[in-house]
Structure 1
């Protein structure tokens, strides 16, 4: 189902991809596609594709400005309509993702999850999921992860189709796009720190762990490419 539907969607939506690419390039600059490392099945890291929604505006010291400044009106429109997610169809076609499954979070998020919460990675991440049709970013992190685990336990063909149909209605009403008072979704670690559920020392240690995971992935990828050339 993933292979067939993603291929059909990519072919049918080619004109939409082209139009959006032109608008993104004109209004937000290049690159048009935003690439980011995300943990997938069994926490194997892959590169996820999205249309960019923010500019690269920086302060006088070269540091990126806050998300609220870089997220333009056009970027907000892309997010509210979920059009920025369309390039993930290529991830589905490649086998990195599924149409339905727990949303792939940041690598820096998984290091703050306990062993039970990390069981969400025992299935392919999805373009949409049970948490997305039950509040998306409008629910707490704990509730979101609880819904992901509920999906893992109940996963079935008919259940996936139920979620797909629910997703269509949620996209039209633009429900749960972001947490209240925030322009973008809050990282899990930042949420735990803000709620005083972890200390600053625990936060810093986990962030360093996530950086190590990313470095290990880059080194593994480079070694693999070198073996392919030899």
Structure 2
């Protein structure tokens, strides 16, 4: 009942109210990004959503566009600025994704939307993470976030898919607030965000 009829309206209401309340914060951050990093202010990237349908996810830009002598973008670690790192540590770069929630691309809680290039790399069990809408936060995000190994992350994603309830969602939302305050699990031990998923590691 909750996942079919109540979760989506709840997400729309919470995201809309959040956008209205946080609009001064959004405008301020946008201005600071324009001043410190230049344009564009927003970072847009194709991500797979429910059933693997691709949508465009929107976040605040946190990196420069610096490239090497061959015209290739430098690694994330080299392009992530101190200001951008601060936005990430407070999860403020995620705020524009509230628009994706209003549109219905993602939910507040669900498996985090990953890269389109990962789609053919999933095994059948891992692919089940796309049975539901991806989320702004999720079970993996409150249990290690980017410090989790890929197998553990996917196991938590699938566990969430099998247990979508009102109480579980609100437990994850409240735990997310605590994780953001503690700045916990923002980076893996060896990368600025998370190492690329190259395929089944079992």
Whether TM exceeds 0.5 here: the answer is yes
Aligned partner (choices 25, 49, 62) of residue 40 of structure 1: 49
Q: TM-score, length-normalised on structure 2?
A: 0.92
Alpha-carbon distance between aligned partners in 1 of 2:141 and 2:193, rounded to the nearest angstrom = 15
Alpha-carbon distance between aligned partners in 2 of 1:17 and 1:160, rounded to the nearest angstrom = 25
Alpha-carbon distance between aligned partners in 2 of 1:76 and 1:142, rounded to the nearest angstrom = 26
Q: Note if 1:60 corresponds to 2:69.
A: yes
Tell me the residue number matched to 1:4. 13
Alpha-carbon distance between aligned partners in 1 of 2:45 and 2:63, rounded to the nearest angstrom = 14
What does 1:40-189 align with in structure 2 at a 5 Å threshold? 40-189=49-198
Structure with greater contact order relative to length (CA < 8 Å, sep ≥ 6): 2
2:147–2:194 Cα contact (<8 Å) kept: no
Alpha-carbon distance between aligned partners in 2 of 1:38 and 1:110, rounded to the nearest angstrom = 10
The CA deviation at 1:46 is: 0.3
Alpha-carbon distance between aligned partners in 2 of 1:178 and 1:69, rounded to the nearest angstrom = 14
Alpha-carbon distance between aligned partners in 1 of 2:193 and 2:170, rounded to the nearest angstrom = 28
Alpha-carbon distance between aligned partners in 2 of 1:22 and 1:176, rounded to the nearest angstrom = 27
Tell me the residue number matched to 1:25. 34
What does 1:205-220 align with in structure 2 at a 5 Å threshold? none
Alpha-carbon distance between aligned partners in 2 of 1:13 and 1:176, rounded to the nearest angstrom = 24
Structure having the higher helix fraction is 1
The CA deviation at 1:33 is: 0.5
In structure 2, stretches of 5+ residues that fail to align are: 1-9
Higher Cα Rg: structure 1 or 2? 1
Aligned residues: 193
2:63–2:79 Cα contact (<8 Å) kept: yes
- Divergent runs of 4+, >3 A: none
CA RMSD, 1 decimal: 1.4
Q: Secondary structure at the match of 1:171?
A: helix
Tell me the residue number matched to 2:23. 14
Alpha-carbon distance between aligned partners in 2 of 1:116 and 1:8, rounded to the nearest angstrom = 36
- After superposition, the C-alpha distances for 1:48-104 in whole angstroms (9 at most, x for unaligned) are 000011000122332212211111111111111110000110000000010000000
In structure 1, stretches of 5+ residues that fail to align are: 199-230
The CA deviation at 1:39 is: 0.3
